[in-house]
Amino acid sequence: MTVQQEMKTLTHFIKGEEVAGTSGRFTEVYNPSTGEVIARVPLASKDEVKHAIQLAKEAFPAWKKTSIGRRVEVLHRFRQLLVERQDKLINMICQESGKTREDAKGEIVRGIESVDMAISAPQMLKGEYSVNVGGNINAFSAKSPLGVVATIAPFNFPVMVPLAITSMAVAVGNAVILKPSERVPISALYLSQLWKEAGLPDGIWTVVNGDKEAVDELLENKEIQAISFVGSTPVAEYIYQTGTKHNKRVAAFGGGKNFMIVMPDANLEQTANAFLGAAYGAASQRCMAISGALVVGKDTEQRFTEILKHKISQLKVGPYTEQDVDFGPVITKQSKETIIRYIDGAVTEGANLVIDGRHPKVCETSNGFYLGPTLLNNVTPEMTIFKEEVFGPARIVVGVDTLQEAIDLINDHELGNGVTMFTSSGAAARRFQEEIEVGMVGVNVPIPIPVGYHNFGGWKRSKFGEGHMFGPDQARFFTKAKTISERWPDETEDTTSSFAFPSNNDAKS
């Protein structure tokens, strides 16, 4: 059977149904492991997005009035379906993103953490109550859902990020519209089926596939109350500026240049093992991937580089169908070409190519978008490969003389997503934690990504807006607070007017 015969045309998911695209515009979905087209996905027009928003708006009031206990029942069933259908989800992730099966499974597990956090929504929605704040008045607060909210997900986590940015929004009573990456729409559409099977009312979960035209409608449409986005820094900034211009609440998570500081007292063998997985896992297509090592001391730098060189040379790149593969391809041919340009540029600027992964052996037998692990040293802060995020397996080693120099280099960088440090010195670790200007910090931890019940978010140009992904702050982001002052006067009470500003004394207010 030919690829063309196997290729299917995907849909949107609107008001509980698969809905064919009507714009006449489509883009192709590739299997990065083979380079083959596996589907085509519709790109929604502004009118299609408006229609989806209107249907979500109509569904919202009933879901808002649904008891939190009932909502949590739906979340429980949805979670169970994620566990039961895990193998099917793994296959989808592998097929459309090129991840290894182990990596895809890990993504699902982390996504389920976000559902677990959403199941705790009753705790997150509790208000406050004060008795007799003055004049026999009781004051209390209540939290309400926003209405229709939009979420825009990246290609690198087809399941985890959609779950992370939507689960709490659904749990606290919103109607959610997801715009997945057009590179990986298959998993998102399958999540739609699971939500429906779990009993979520039609219209509360919507998937609209599309490109910038669809995104702009979500950003500008007055019915959309909030936007949660994950992607590159330039797009995150655009989402934030455009969304807030249209009076929306926005949390836009951008890229990272995440360094690992290696101290002379670190166990270099263990640190190198930690670096490998954190730097090259998922073909380095993670916003929390380690971008490079800042190694303190010339001797430490030389020894660490030699250890890395030996270990990296043993890594295997290939398709997810092979059992012993460490990581797979990058997402597109264009991504591969961009990463090669970064490598070529670094060499031109004076970096030394320790391991060259531009032409892995697997490319001799496959049309997949493969790059092997690349390592460069003699990299300086003035080089482009140091300044910019490289979303692929090209990692760097930078020598520094002191811990303070490493901290200063990181603090001076425009991105501040994650950072980690390997050391056996508690004093050095404490200084590092206190002085570093980065949102997520690790000590002897390869990737300092928080678990689902802690807030996730970088600093500087790695995050725009005050919302967080994961954690209790999500419930705040997707709700609005109402404060109520209540008094029930006795029939015999004096009710003459008072023109004094209300105060918290015992007199009538």
DSSP string, 405-433: HHHHHHHHSSEESEEEEE-S-HHHHHHHH
Residue recorded with tokens 């032409």: 359
pLDDT tens figures, 355-387: 999 999 999 899 999 999 999 999 999 999 999
282 and 224: one domain?
Answer: no
Pair 119, 171: CB distance under 8 Å: yes
pLDDT tens figures, 25-70: 999 999 999 999 999 999 999 999 999 999 999 999 999 999 999 9
pLDDT tens figures, 92-150: 999 999 999 999 999 999 999 999 999 999 998 888 888 988 888 889 899 999 999 99
Q: Domain for residue 146, yes or no?
A: yes
Q: Domain for residue 207, yes or no?
A: yes
Greater model confidence, 502 or 85:
85
Instruction: For residue 492, give the DSSP letter.
Output: T
Side-chain half-sphere CA neighbours of 135 within 13 A: 18
Q: Structure tokens of 92?
A: 């989808």
pLDDT at 506: 52
Measured N-to-C along each axis, helices 86-97 and 68-84 cross at an angle, to the nearest 10 degrees, of: 70
Average pLDDT over residues 434-452: 87
Q: Give the 3-state DSSP-derived string for 256-312, with helices as H, strands as E and coil as C.
A: CCEEEEECCCCCHHHHHHHHHHHHHHHHHCCCCCEEEEEEECHHHHHHHHHHHHHHH
Give Cβ neighbours of residue 181 (< 8 Å, ≥ 6 apart). 153, 154, 155, 158
282 and 217: one domain?
Answer: no
Instruction: For residue 116, give the DSSP letter.
Output: H
Q: Structure tokens of 311?
A: 């270990």
Q: Domain for residue 442, yes or no?
A: yes
Q: Domain for residue 136, yes or no?
A: yes
- Residues of the chain with pLDDT > 90: what percent? 81
Euclidean distance between CA atoms 303 and 61, whole angstroms: 63
pLDDT at 157: 93
Domains identified in the chain, total number? 2
pLDDT at 271: 97
349 and 200: one domain?
Answer: no
pLDDT at 487: 87
Side-chain half-sphere CA neighbours of 3 within 13 A: 11
The sign of the CA dihedral 468, 473, 479, 483 is negative
pLDDT at 198: 98
226 and 353: one domain?
Answer: no
Residue recorded with tokens 């609209």: 208
Q: Is the pLDDT of residue 1 over 60?
A: no
Q: Mean pLDDT lowest for which of 25-29, 149-153, 504-508?
A: 504-508
Strands (E), 123-275: 129-134, 137-145, 148-152, 175-179, 205-207, 224-230, 249-253, 258-262
pLDDT tens figures, 395-438: 999 999 999 999 999 999 998 888 999 999 999 999 999 999 99
Q: Give the 3-state DSSP-derived string for 366-394, with helices as H, strands as E and coil as C.
A: CCCCCCCCEEEECCCCCCHHHHCCCCCCE
Range of the domain at 142: 3-254+462-482
Greater model confidence, 36 or 459:
36
Pair 97, 156: CB distance under 8 Å: yes
Which long-range contacts (C-beta less than 8 Å, at least 24 apart) are formed by 234-243?
236/463, 236/464, 237/461, 237/464, 239/152, 239/215, 239/464, 240/464, 240/465, 241/464, 242/216, 243/219
- Using DSSP's 3-state secondary structure scheme, residue 485 falls into strand
pLDDT at 471: 76
Average pLDDT over residues 328-342: 96
326 and 360: one domain?
Answer: yes
Q: Give the confidence band of 6 by pLDDT, cuts at 50, 70, 90.
A: low
Euclidean distance between CA atoms 334 and 504, whole angstroms: 65
pLDDT at 468: 79
Q: Is the pLDDT of residue 2 over 70?
A: no
Q: CA 308, 313, 315 angle in degrees (round to 5)?
A: 100
Supply the mean pLDDT for the chain. 92
Q: Domain for residue 504, yes or no?
A: no
Q: Is the pLDDT of residue 20 over 60?
A: yes
293 and 395: one domain?
Answer: yes
Instruction: For residue 451, give the DSSP letter.
Output: P
163 and 268: one domain?
Answer: no
Greater model confidence, 440 or 257:
257
pLDDT tens figures, 154-181: 999 999 999 999 999 999 999 999 999 9
Report which of 255, 287, 262 is spatially closest to residue 396, judged by C-alpha positions: 262
Q: Domain for residue 508, yes or no?
A: no
Catalytic residue positions, numbered: 287
Q: What is the CATH number of the domain that holds 315?
A: 3.40.309.10
Q: Domain for residue 491, yes or no?
A: no
239 and 341: one domain?
Answer: no
176 and 113: one domain?
Answer: yes
186 and 69: one domain?
Answer: yes
Q: Give the confidence band of 5 by pLDDT, cuts at 50, 70, 90.
A: very low
pLDDT at 509: 45
Q: Is the pLDDT of residue 200 over 90?
A: yes
Q: Give the confidence band of 86 by pLDDT, cuts at 50, 70, 90.
A: very high
Q: Domain for residue 349, yes or no?
A: yes
Euclidean distance between CA atoms 39 and 168, whole angstroms: 30
The H or E element that residue 477 is part of is helix 473-477
344 and 223: one domain?
Answer: no
16 and 129: one domain?
Answer: yes
Q: Is the pLDDT of residue 454 over 80?
A: no
Q: Give the 3-state DSSP-derived string for 34-82, with helices as H, strands as E and coil as C.
A: CCEEEEEEECCCHHHHHHHHHHHHHHHHHHHHCCHHHHHHHHHHHHHHH
Residue recorded with tokens 């060259």: 356
Average pLDDT over residues 264-289: 94
Q: What is the CATH number of the domain that holds 98?
A: 3.40.605.10
